Amino acid sequence: MSELAYTPLDEIEKIHSELKKGFYSGKNKPISYRKYQLLQLAYLIKDNTEKFEEALRADLGRPALESRFMEIGPSITDALKAYKGVDSWARPEKPGFSITFTFMRPIVYKEPKGVVLVISPFNYPLWLTVGPLAGALAAGCATVIKPSEATPAFSSLLAELVPKYLDSDLVRVVNGAVPETSKLLDLQWDHILYTGGGRVGRIVATAAAKHLTPVSLELGGKSPVVIDPNCDLETTARRVLWGKIVNAGQTCVAPDYILVPRHFQDKFVDALKTTYAQFFPENAKPNAEGTYSRIVTPQAFKRIKKLLDETEGEIVIGGETDEATKFIAPTVVKNVKGTDSLMSDEIFGPLLPIVPVEDLDEAIAFINARDHPLALYVFSQDPVFKNKLFSRTQSGAAIANEVVIHPGADGLPFGGVGPSGYGMHTGKFTFDMFTHLRSSLDSPSWIDKILAFRFPPYTPKGLKATLGLYPSLPARPSGPPPAESAYTNRWARWLLFGLAFAVAGGLTRKDKFLK
Ligand code: NAD
């Protein structure tokens, strides 16, 4: 493991006050300055791609392809997106016409929140640092980045590069573990973005509450995958297995467990076995260097291995482990019960439990009996099936026939709901997170001629004049409230379309999974 130099504790407060000074200097205000920094950020990554690949290999045993596809490319894209978007994102907005207020020149200014703290996790340390930083720079904030101590090679590299490319008056890296992060959390910030596990998330939210600091918590949890027998089985097996294998399952939106109809379980397992053999042919076993990531720390290895050792399910793929190299083979376990060790907590490793259920109703009840997941996946070709699952559950994202890559999709916010977190980011949503919408009016004197009745002494004539400000309402609703929500109606239209299509094609369901 590379040595990571921790920031001395007594420097942390100094860094905070230097950033405050930098923020109030006003140099972050011009959009041209922010664009300069954003382009520097993009070049910081581009110029040092190989160094980042090497650091991620050292920390996570990560194959270069995974680092490029999952982190390096998306990080450059995020910096560029912010560079291109900031002119319009930061433009003040005028609200629509209002007879009462338009002449008071209402306007919404997009102001930077101030000095913000970004605490990031080990699993995608570059993307989960650069994405938030791009939004903070675009918003005009000053930022402290606190990367994970579990990725020492990456965190050292970041601390070395940031001062070379970015303005140290406005961006600083603080490295360290619990004492350094606790010291940071004692200080007053204008926003904290924390990405990591729920246990630490609670510590962060509690510390922030002392200063009434707004917080975004990007947490994890168990993201289920519901398999409909009416799916494209080959594609399903390929995507689900890849979602579990990439970064050795250390992905917050990795498929955590599978819910499949009991009668279809073995067919699905066979498809996974075929895919596994294609992913790792005889001469390219996953333990070969550069083929497959490793578990980040010995402690994390022990935690995941314990889950595997204690399972009462049946291992059908993988199962091999090697403590010395922190290697855990991609492992599929079938006939797993809800009470199994593999269902006790987020796995965050390459183990894939399969929980057989009777039907979709049981799958929905299983999901709703647990914390709202960060992502809910379904593999199905059937719009009725997808609609039923999505409309009766809650999750950060609802994804059909795909896994893991949705946080990179343009225009989609990335965030959890309930125990999987609150707040959202990526692209403009990150800019919005670090932006204060500052309402402003500039009211001319002549307005008082119209609104004179508001001033004492209050008179009956004035009281009557207030009625003129009441809006007129549409006709009172009649009959009972409508049974379906607008959301369901929208899905229902697609449903009808899908049904008509299925009937026209002579498709009839033989299985009873969808009840
Ligand atoms: P973690 O919570 O252990 O650590 C994250 C950060 O918190 C690190 O920088 C660490 O130094 C700091 N930290 C650790 N203990 C602390 C303490 N006692 N006080 C203050 N700070 C402390 O998380 P991790 O293991 O790095 O990441 C794994 C978790 O992150 C998983 O649950 C995963 O699902 C989640 N995650 C979520 C997202 C998302 O966008 N929602 C993305 C990646 C990971």
Mean pLDDT across 6-33: 97
- Taking residues 388-403, what's their average pLDDT? 98
State pLDDT tens for residues 209-232.
999 999 999 999 999 999 999 999
Architecture in CATH for domain 9-219+425-437 = 3-Layer(aba) Sandwich (3.40)
Q: Choose among 244, 374, 220: nearest CA to 318.
A: 244
Q: Is the CB of 203 within 6 Å of ligand 1?
A: yes
Distance (Å) from CA 256 to ligand 1 centroid: 17
Supply the pLDDT for residue 3: 85
Q: Provide CB contacts within 8 A for 465, sequence distance 6+.
A: 453
CA of 194 from ligand 1 middle (Å) equals: 8
What is the CA angle 130-2-135, rounded to 5?
5
| Mean pLDDT, rounded, for 321-328 | 94
Residue indicated by tokens 């204060």: 436
Nearest CA to ligand 1 atom 6: 121
Q: Report the atom number in ligand 1 closest to the C-alpha of 120.
A: 9
Same fold, 9-219+425-437 and 224-415: no
pTM over 0.85: yes
Helix, strand, coil percentages in the chain from 3-state DSSP, rounded to 5? 45, 15, 40
Q: Using 50, 70 and 90 to split pLDDT, how confident is the model at 386?
A: very high
**pLDDT reported for residue 515:** 57
Q: How far is CA 47 from CA 36, 129, 145, 365, 489, in A?
A: 16, 17, 20, 50, 50
Mean pLDDT of 460-471: 90
Q: 20 C-alpha to center of ligand 1: Å?
A: 26
Tell me the chain's radius of gyration from C-alpha atoms.
27
Lowest mean pLDDT among 268-277, 413-422, 498-507: 498-507
What are the structure tokens assigned to 152, written together?
Answer: 């020492």
Distance in Å, CA 207 to ligand 1 centroid: 15
* pLDDT interval class at 281 (50, 70, 90): confident
Share of the chain above pLDDT 90, in %: 88
- CA atoms of 158 and 2, how far apart (whole Å): 13
Give the C-alpha separation, 42 to 46, whole Å.
6
Known catalytic residue at 18: no
End-to-end CA distance of the chain: 53
Superfamily designation of domain 224-415: Aldehyde Dehydrogenase; Chain A, domain 2 (3.40.309.10)
Closest CA to 245 of 337, 335, 347: 347
Cα 230 versus chain centre, distance: 29
195 C-beta closer than 6 A to ligand 1: yes
- Measured from the Cα of 203, ligand 1's closest atom is 19
Q: Where are the domains of the chain?
A: 9-219+425-437, 224-415
pLDDT attached to residue 491: 53
Q: Of 66, 180, 252, 346, which residue is the catalytic one?
A: 252
The DSSP bridge partners found for residue 260 are 356
Ligand 1 atom 9 nearest Cα: 148
Average pLDDT of the chain?
A: 94
For 18, counting Cβ atoms within 10 Å of its Cβ (0-12 exposed, 13-18 middle, 19+ buried), the class is middle
pLDDT at residue 514, as a whole number: 61
Percent of the chain with pLDDT over 70: 93
Dihedrals phi, psi of 239, to nearest 5 degrees? -70, -45
Q: Which tops the pLDDT comparison, 486 or 47?
A: 47
